[in-house]
Amino acid sequence: MTQPDTSIFFPDPEGIDPKQVPVKTLPSGAKIPVIGLGTFGSDHVTGQQIADAVLDAARLGYRHFDCASVYGNEHLIGHSFRKIMDGGVRREELWITSKLWNDKHAEEDVIASCKKSLADLQLDYLDLYLVHWPFPNYHPPGCAPDYHNPDARSYIHENYMKTWRQMEKLVEMGLVRHIGTSNMTIPKLELLLRDVKIKPACNEMELHPHFQQPELFKYVVDHGIVPIGYSPIGSPGRPERDRTAEDTVDIEDPVIVKIAQRLKVHPATVCLKWAVQRGQLPIPFSVNRKNYLGNLKAVVSEPLSTQDMQEIAKIDRDCRLIKGQVFLWKDGQTWEALWDLDGKITPA
């Protein structure tokens, strides 16, 4: 029997022992490392750069990776996962997420799309599979901020449940260990939780100090759903289509900067410490080794004080950075229509 070639992989003296990284335990008993590496390269990082970062991040101690079919890089990341496992990391030590894209919500497409991700990622199963957005509205990569798909539709719960039933089948087939939601709102989750056979294990959502979403955060936690936070440091590398003049910058906030200076760390480290201590799982993205190593170290080093946490709780500016306007279904709508701000699902 061939032994794993650990020489390509371990140890890396700069890294963190994965056993030191805290985990969040799901009701199923599964354990998710509290920080993951995001793999959305925006519009300025190549798929190969991301795949290389995945491999190196694993060398440094990462075991949680957040992928998606729409990122267009899973076929490259799969080679990294194969090297990671050939290098001595057992599959059950990894937590790997992927997502169902908007143009695959049809009942006949869900299972096939998941199998495609599995093949690309060179895996037998996913730890978590998410419905990426609740809208079946496609937009081309790199589209303009005002792009409007003439076939776009509103959220229709009956249709979403048809998609969800196929997600549940993936669990029954053993292709996926857990299923979850992303970019949801409380009114949509209320309907979903009423009708599911298999409850969402996680909800992925935008979370950072300037966008804390306290009501939605409390809702998912109260319902036993783990919040996974994207853009945890304010998404400095987000696409141009997601930038507006009103956007604020978390890592320049005086409170964040003051705490960072006291701890002698980068402000991004403060954002990640806050996220983990609050109870969400951040998935920051970077292909810069110094940055993704620093992000990992942030969750195993000195925690923020109670006072720090209280001060950060006060700087929420309700500043959504990933507005999703390319998913709108009517002319003249603004991005707010996607997020049910009045507590009701925006009608068709």
Catalytic residues: 71
Query: Whose CA is closest to 250, among 228, 226, 276, 274?
Result: 274
Cβ pair 284, 38 in contact under 8 A? yes
The DSSP bridge pattern shows strands 202-206 and 179-182 to be: parallel
Helix (H) or strand (E) holding 221: helix 214-222
Cβ pair 184, 205 in contact under 8 A? yes
Sequence letter at residue 326? V
Listed in sequence order, the residues at least 6 apart from 172 whose beta carbon sits closer than 8 Å to its beta carbon are none
Alpha-carbon separation of residue 34 from 96, 132, 176 (angstroms): 13, 20, 20
Extended beta strands in 117-268, E state: 128-131, 179-182, 202-206, 226-230
Residues counted in the chain: 348
Does the bond joining 11 to the residue before it have cis omega, within 30 degrees of 0?
yes
Please state, in angstroms and rounded to a whole number, the distance separating the CA atoms of residues 143 and 141. Answer: 6
* Number of CB atoms found within 10 A of residue 8's CB: 13
Please state, in angstroms and rounded to a whole number, the distance separating the CA atoms of residues 45 and 65. Answer: 17
Cβ pair 201, 224 in contact under 8 A? no
